[in-house]
């Protein structure tokens, strides 16, 4: 099963909107928000990010072509919400 892993930097509402949007794609096996204790440390030098947090999300899909659709959809949803997104191979 192909997996897509990404970090989303934004608000809780941004993460929820993205997860709900991805649930609407047929062929999604699962979507899981992963707790990452290393993300609890905040960058003290960053400005105006009181609502910004990092959410670690993993999506399992039925096929490689669907994995590409999930990447495109997740990037579009993040862009609409002005949230940052970084696709990674592993957490």
pLDDT confidence of residue 40? 52
Q: Is residue 78 part of a domain?
A: yes
Q: Which domain holds residue 64?
A: 3-38+51-88
Helix (H) or strand (E) holding 66: helix 64-80
For the chain, what is the domain count?
1
pLDDT confidence of residue 37? 59
pLDDT confidence of residue 52? 84
**C-alpha–C-alpha distance, residues 35 and 49, integer Å:** 20
* Mean pLDDT, 10 residues at a time, the chain of 91 residues: 96 97 94 77 50 92 95 97 96 79
Q: Is residue 46 part of a domain?
A: no
Q: Is residue 45 part of a domain?
A: no
pLDDT confidence of residue 43? 47
Q: Is residue 10 part of a domain?
A: yes
How do beta strands 28-34 and 3-10 pair? Answer: unpaired
pLDDT confidence of residue 51? 72
Q: Is residue 44 part of a domain?
A: no
| CATH, residue 32 | 3.30.70.260
């Amino acid at each position: 099963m192909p997996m897509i892993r990404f970090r989303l930097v934004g608000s809780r509402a941004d993460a929820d909107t993205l997860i709900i949007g991805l649930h609407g794609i047929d062929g999604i096996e699962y979507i899981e928000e992963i707790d990452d204790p290393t993300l609890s440390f905040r960058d003290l030098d960053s400005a105006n990010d009181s609502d910004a947090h990092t959410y670690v999300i993993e999506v399992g899909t039925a096929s490689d072509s669907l994995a590409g659709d999930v990447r495109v959809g997740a990037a579009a949803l993040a862009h609409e919400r002005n949230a940052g997104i970084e696709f990674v191979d592993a957490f």
